[in-house]
Amino acid sequence: MTLSIRAMRYVQAAVRLGSISAAGEAMHVAPSAIATALGQAEARFGMALVTRARAKGIYPTSAGRDVLRRIDDLLERYDAMMTDVSDLQSGLSGTLTVGYNAPIAPAFLPTIAAQLRAANPDLVFGFVDGDNPAVQRGLLSGNYDLILYVEELPNPQIETQPLVFAPTYCLCPADHPIAHGGPVSMNRVLREPLVLLDRPAARTYYMELLEQTGEDYNIVATTNSTEMVRSLVAVGTGVSLLNMRPGAVPSYAAGDTCCVPLSGTSHGITISLGTAPGPKRRLLQAFIDACTAYFDGPARAELIVENTG
């Protein structure tokens, strides 16, 4: 038994909306047509694609999420094929949802999206901030097409592509003695009051870095916002450790900051792109290529503070 394009559109709508009746309304057909298409798809693939809960809608199974990604890819390719040849060659359309655990992502993701939209004005982007575990869960549940995150342990359900290595640096007030002496050692940093970026993956990383020195340290403020870190440092609360820097913009608070490389260390984190394994939509691949090209270019030097090893 084959599965028609129409049936696949019905399945796509049902899984996306989580409701057979809502899918019928969206596709302008009776709910029975949606239910029939779902039954045909499950029979054709030999597996349950959704779980059904009376009065609560339907929920995709793990296999259902994988099949949905493949249906999305196939329908996008089919729609592109049916358009004019010139659009097929150059035009991208649709929605791409990106989850990111990179507090500094606003410094570069908008530029990448704007470059793509300049050539493809029908594109729509959704960007969602979250901690490292949350964005990975979002990708696996089908909420995101792509995530920007720090890979801690390999996950066979996530296809990872390293994007950029970001060495750890010291952020201090612009008029602080550390700002004018070149690269600074961790021991020198620990003599200062510290402002800690307290996000799930970041906190563990920075605390391990502090503990490895074997020296005493004094944390005087914590915050889960990179911008708050910068503002606290700018007004002289203390110094901090970070891994990526924004563009040349002042903090919200009065006062300027300075990014100082660390000496005698190679510590840093790798920001990676994560996607579900399998075929990738044209739009998704175009976004991946745009991210890679961005960090292969001169913009990388504006976001990274190289340490002296």
| Predicted confidence (pLDDT) per residue in 193-206, tens digit | 999 999 877 888 89
> Is the per-residue pLDDT at 168 higher than 50?
yes
Structure tokens at 249: 């913009």
Residue 89's pLDDT is what? 43
> Is the per-residue pLDDT at 105 higher than 50?
yes
Residue 87's pLDDT is what? 44
> Is the per-residue pLDDT at 263 higher than 50?
yes
> Is the per-residue pLDDT at 2 higher than 80?
no
Residues 6+ away with beta carbon under 8 Å from 259: 169, 170, 171, 242, 245, 305
Q: Report the pLDDT averaged over residues 249-256.
A: 67
60 touches 50 (CB < 8 A)? yes
pTM: 0.67
Residue 86's pLDDT is what? 43
Per the model's pLDDT, the better-predicted residue between 204 and 254 turns out to be 204
Q: Which is it for strands 193-197 and 218-223: parallel, antiparallel or unpaired?
A: parallel
Residue 225's pLDDT is what? 87
